[in-house]
Structure 1
Amino acid sequence: MLGKNAKLFFGLSMCGLIIAIVLSAWGFPKIVNTQIQKSVQLDNSSMMYEKWRKLPIALTFQVNVFNVTNVDDIMAGKKPILQEIGPFVYKEYRERTVLGYGENDTIKYTVKKTYEYDQEASGALTEDQEVTIINYSYMNAILTAYELMPGILPMLNEAMSQFFGAQDTPFITVKVKDLFFDGMFLDCSLNMSAIALICGKLKADTPSVMRRAEDKNGFYFSLFGQWNNTDIGPFEMVRGRENIRELGHIVSYQDKKVMNHWGDPYCGMLNGSDATIFPPIDESDVPNKIYFFEPEICRSSYASLVGQRAIYNMSAYYYEIDRLVFASKSANPDNKCFCRKNWSAKHDGCLLMGVMNLMPCKGAPAIISLPHYYLASEELLEYFDGGITPDKEKHNSYVYLEPKTGAVLQGMQRIQFNIELRNIPNIPQLATVQTGLFPLLWIEEGADTMPDDLLKELQDAHTILGYVEVARWLLLVIASLVCVGAAVCVVRSGAAPVWPRSNNDFILNPGHSLDINKGH
């Protein structure tokens, strides 16, 4: 009876071990991944949905302006000396409006950003701070006109200089609030036929950086005013219900699946997310690159994996902007379709590392780079006598991703806006300056800290996942020990043959006996 019970116990323990192996190797991971997917997918019932729809924290939006300190020297042909003033810090709130759901597991929405000046974070700086900067709108108009009709540019210049406030130099002094959001007034009531021509063109095709004055007698030019309290989109994004690895992938913007500005389907591809949501990371196949789409530059960019790092007592994957994103076509042939000629008097835009021409995207000769020309050509730095000092810690773009959920633990995106200051002999304001790429300002957008409540929520989830992981392997260990114990019971009960101990024991064949008293 004891032998039969031992065998039964052993059989049951083997079944338990098999179940434990299946659960440990497949069951527990499957259950955990299913629950994570339900939590992060863009569905009304998920934990992520409301946080995605209305960002529960304010991002930081910081602006650093390049104040020009030696205007007279620049006008005399000397190198610029710049002074960085900032950061001017704003709180950025984001809210999405869901427009509907599409086929292929997508959601359609618009995004509204709202900016609020953060006086405490800005310290002594106020929005009334005056700065002397390159006259961005004037240089924009001059360079655009120069490409279209260089012969009549001297006749247009008088009107342009009055309209854009550049009577003596290509520089202007302005309050930052007017430059950023409120707008600098451009007066259409001036009695000049050329100004009437300019204003007529603006009325017919108003650029995004300008808004019509309420009295209809002019326009306000600002760099970021079009972003504030304005619905951007629509976007169409994958919800991640059918394939969690596709969560957040943007499949269309303004109902277009390809950005046609570049005249090439490769450069026009929509890759990645909007940089606020990423899918969980399969740690057996960690992506070397993560992609994100930027509508303001009409293209997708990417960050490359640096490695695994600890942050907030959690393990995360650290990515940073790749040097090849804005590389010259000689360094990165894939960038050749982003190249446009004649953005510079010296270069076609593809010979220099670290810059990108936004003319096809914005219809204006704006050039973007990383702040202080970080990762860009040394040639750009040689144009200045001071104020441009690239620093990886200050000017790099990066993101930390928590692998289990794909949550962004920390991230900053940094970009600089530039325009060419070009020597044009028949334009008085430009006849004596040196030609070079001139920076206006750089922005920093993202979150460098995580609120305590969100951090605790994520850490608690990590703790639970840790307990599940421990339970997974503990179950396997217990099942193995029980199986070993059952095997011992079977052996000791005599229900299974075993090798005898060696000390003076003998093995007898069946049918033979041994008489130790038998004589010889």
Structure 2
Amino acid sequence: MKFLSPKDLLFYVFPQLRVAKFSFDFLKCSYHLYRNRKRMKFPIKLMVASSVSFLFILIIGFVVFPKVIKGKIKAMTAVVPGNDMRQMFTKVPFGLDFKIYLFNVTNPMDVQKGAIPNLVEVGPFCYSEWKEKVEISDNEKDDTMSYKSKDTFLAEHWEGCVSGEEVVTILHPLIVGMINTVSRTKPAMLSLVNKAVNAIYRNPTSIYLTATAREILFDGIVIDCDVKEFAGKAVCSQLQQSPDLKHISDTELGFSLVGPKNATAGKVFKVYRGKRNSRNLGLIIEFDGKKQMETWTTKDCNRFRGTDGTIFRLS
């Protein structure tokens, strides 16, 4: 025979206690549910907070921070006074490797008779090119600067380089260049130029020049303008006004390919500094006071579209 437990006996004697116990259990369960319900909000809050934090990090890391960095870089790259980039732009702190090769024509007389030129490469002739800007002026109003470029070439004796005393034969740059220019621009003047060449170069038998590489590149080839013939005097008067020729004496000029540019300030550049608009950094506005070149036959080809080659704008 199974005896009733005290609790069951109490419920048996007082049946109303079952209702009371049910009510108590219900309230107890509701209380636990309420507590659990409150606890369930914390992960949700944590998830929301994490999502907001992640979104904030995304905005800062991928939108704001890159713009701040890009803005800082733009400010650093503008070539304004006091900026590190300005110092590097106005004077490159290292020499650039500059190597020149010449092609020696070994059969010049045969070429003048119709033969194919036999070319032999000679070089390299090695130099360090030091670049700087001089006579600099700034215009704050339109965010531009003007300057002259000066390149200085120093001979180097790196491994594999040659001395410059090698004798080479090339097309005479002055004779051929002068004839080609006149034939293209003023063909009616060719007969006058032909007489001038004969007078200045004493009736040359060849359109080739034979000299050392150093003379051709830097030291210069002498042009004797001590002539009495009208055509020769006319051409020499024009040559004496050329800044690309070295004045040796009243009647002698020196012509070389690189010499006139060595340690000599060139013509004036006017460029954007890139402070207001970094995309305009270094873009040429004017050269030698001209807003476009006069080299080509169309306006589009004569437009300035880039920099002087020592700086490049940000993309």
Superposition TM-score tier, normalisation by shorter sequence:
0.7 to 0.9
Among 296, 299, 309, the residue aligned to 1:262 = 296
Equivalent residue number for residue 147 of structure 2: 109
Equivalent residue number for residue 284 of structure 2: 250
**What whole-Å deviation, never above 9, does each CA across 1:62-101 have from its counterpart, x for those lacking one?**
2111111012322333221111111111110001132222
**One-letter amino acid of the structure 2 residue matched with residue 210 of structure 1:** L
Q: Mean Cα displacement is larger for which, 31-40 or 258-267?
A: 258-267
Q: Give the number of the structure whose residues are more often helix, by fraction.
A: 2
Unaligned runs of 5+ in 1: 282-520
Give matches, 1:422-437, under 5 Å.
Answer: none
2:189 paired with 1:149: yes
Equivalent residue number for residue 246 of structure 2: 211
Give matches, 1:167-206, under 5 Å.
Answer: 167-190=204-227, 192=229, 194-203=231-240, 206=241
When Rg is computed on C-alpha atoms for both structures, the one with the higher figure is: 2
2:262 paired with 1:240: no
**What whole-Å deviation, never above 9, does each CA across 1:156-176 have from its counterpart, x for those lacking one?**
4531432xxx62211121111
Equivalent residue number for residue 30 of structure 2: none
- Structure 1 residue 102, shift from structure 2 partner: 4.5
Closer, same or farther in 2 for the Cα pair 1:144/1:53, shift >3 Å? closer
Among 145, 152, 156, the residue aligned to 1:118 = 156
**CA contact under 8 A between 1:199 and 1:218: conserved in structure 2?**
no
- Structure 1 residue 155, shift from structure 2 partner: 4.3
**One-letter amino acid of the structure 2 residue matched with residue 20 of structure 1:** I
2:161 paired with 1:127: no
**CA contact under 8 A between 1:209 and 1:224: conserved in structure 2?**
no
What is the rounded CA distance, in whole Å, between the counterparts of 1:54 and 1:153 in structure 2? 42
Secondary structure of 2:158's aligned partner: helix
Percent same amino acid at aligned positions?
26
- Structure 1 residue 24, shift from structure 2 partner: 2.2
Secondary structure of 1:251's aligned partner: strand
- Structure 1 residue 36, shift from structure 2 partner: 1.7
2:199 paired with 1:159: yes
RMSD across aligned C-alpha pairs, in angstroms? 2.7
Structure ranking higher on relative contact order (CA contacts 8 Å, 6+ apart) = 1
What is the rounded CA distance, in whole Å, between the counterparts of 1:243 and 1:152 in structure 2? 52
Give matches, 1:466-485, under 5 Å.
Answer: none
**What whole-Å deviation, never above 9, does each CA across 1:311-346 have from its counterpart, x for those lacking one?**
xxxxxxxxxxxxxxxxxxxxxxxxxxxxxxxxxxxx
**One-letter amino acid of the structure 1 residue matched with residue 273 of structure 2:** R
**One-letter amino acid of the structure 2 residue matched with residue 148 of structure 1:** A
Give matches, 1:40-439, under 5 Å.
Answer: 40-97=77-134, 98-121=136-159, 123=161, 125-144=162-181, 147-151=187-191, 155-162=195-202, 167-190=204-227, 192=229, 194-203=231-240, 206-213=241-248, 215-281=249-315
Query: What TM-score do the two structures reach when normalised by structure 2?
Result: 0.76
**One-letter amino acid of the structure 2 residue matched with residue 250 of structure 1:** I
Closer, same or farther in 2 for the Cα pair 1:144/1:259, shift >3 Å? closer
**What whole-Å deviation, never above 9, does each CA across 1:370-405 have from its counterpart, x for those lacking one?**
xxxxxxxxxxxxxxxxxxxxxxxxxxxxxxxxxxxx
Query: What TM-score do the two structures reach when normalised by structure 1?
Result: 0.48
- Structure 1 residue 154, shift from structure 2 partner: 5.8
**One-letter amino acid of the structure 2 residue matched with residue 270 of structure 1:** F
Equivalent residue number for residue 510 of structure 1: none
**One-letter amino acid of the structure 1 residue matched with residue 173 of structure 2:** Y
What is the rounded CA distance, in whole Å, between the counterparts of 1:42 and 1:263 in structure 2? 34
- Structure 1 residue 217, shift from structure 2 partner: 1.9
- Structure 1 residue 246, shift from structure 2 partner: 2.3
Closer, same or farther in 2 for the Cα pair 1:212/1:122, shift >3 Å? farther
Secondary structure of 2:204's aligned partner: coil
Secondary structure of 1:167's aligned partner: coil
- Alignment length, in residue pairs? 274
**What whole-Å deviation, never above 9, does each CA across 1:337-379 have from its counterpart, x for those lacking one?**
xxxxxxxxxxxxxxxxxxxxxxxxxxxxxxxxxxxxxxxxxxx
